[in-house]
Amino acid sequence: MSREQMVEHARLFYDQGTMVGTAGNLSARADDDSFWITASGRQKGQLSTGDFIRVGLNGDVVEVGASDNKPSAETSIHRIVYELFEDAGACYHVHSIHANLVSNMTDGNQLELPPLEMLKGFGIWEQDPLIQIEIFENHLDVPRIAREIQLRFAHKSPQLAALLIRNHGVTVWGRSTEEAKVYIELSEYIFRYMTLAKQTGMR
Ligand SMILES: [Zn+2]
């Protein structure tokens, strides 16, 4: 079941350094109207299937899992992703060093990605694709970030099933937990490439 997969993926991301401490949150759609998401404040390297909360698309907590589970403020971002993208079955958000570094490569709200082969993993099958990832400002008031995502994507679909929050992290969504995991790994590869390329004076 999806919660077991998320426990496994959180452990993997923890080991890779993108879910350090309690950072980040993973979620998977339970049915059309709700999703399971990691509870607030849990150590991501030591999750169990009881550390999830089921939240409705209206934001209400439907099921708490363990009795002291609390929803994270970042739940609002997951909720918007499920609302915007009907085929999203999972949404993963991690705090990656490389994501934060590349989020500062522009002051604008879009960042051009290098035309790497790895983009095919996101379903982009073009010769030398020109792909921009959308960047959102980080706000202490997380629901404000969610509202800005909702507003921008309501007008224009993103080119990639991923977005950056500046100096905060990356969020991806896929049809399944497996697909979301792959997207996290692909984005990490691309951001790491960009950081290294900048260091070595390449594009
Ligand atoms: Zn976060």
Report whether pLDDT(77) > 70: yes
37 near 71, Cβ under 8 Å?
A: yes
Distance 138 CA to ligand 1 centre (A): 9
Longest Cα separation, the chain:
52
How far, in Å, from the CA of 45 to the mean position of ligand 1?
16
pLDDT band at 1 (very low <50, low <70, confident <90, very high): confident
CA of 127 to the centre of ligand 1 (A): 33
Give the predicted TM-score (pTM) of the model. 0.96
Q: Name the pLDDT band for 58 (thresholds 50, 70, 90).
A: very high
Distance (Å, whole) CA 175 – CA 117: 21
Highest mean pLDDT among 18-22, 116-120, 153-157, 166-170: 166-170
Question: What is the homologous superfamily of the domain 2-199 according to CATH?
Answer: Class II aldolase/adducin N-terminal domain (3.40.225.10)
Give the range with max mean pLDDT: 41-45, 101-105, 125-129, 197-201: 101-105
83, pLDDT greater than 90: yes
- Output the CA 140–ligand 1 centroid distance in Å: 11
pLDDT for 203 equals: 60
The pLDDT, as a whole number, for residue 160 is: 96
CA 175 to chain centre: 13
pLDDT band at 67 (very low <50, low <70, confident <90, very high): confident
**Distance between Cα 55 and ligand 1 center (Å):** 18
Is residue 187 within 8 Å of residue 169, measured between CB atoms?
Answer: no
> Which two tokens mark 59?
């934001």
- How far apart are the CA of 162 and the centre of ligand 1, in A? 14
Average pLDDT, the chain: 94
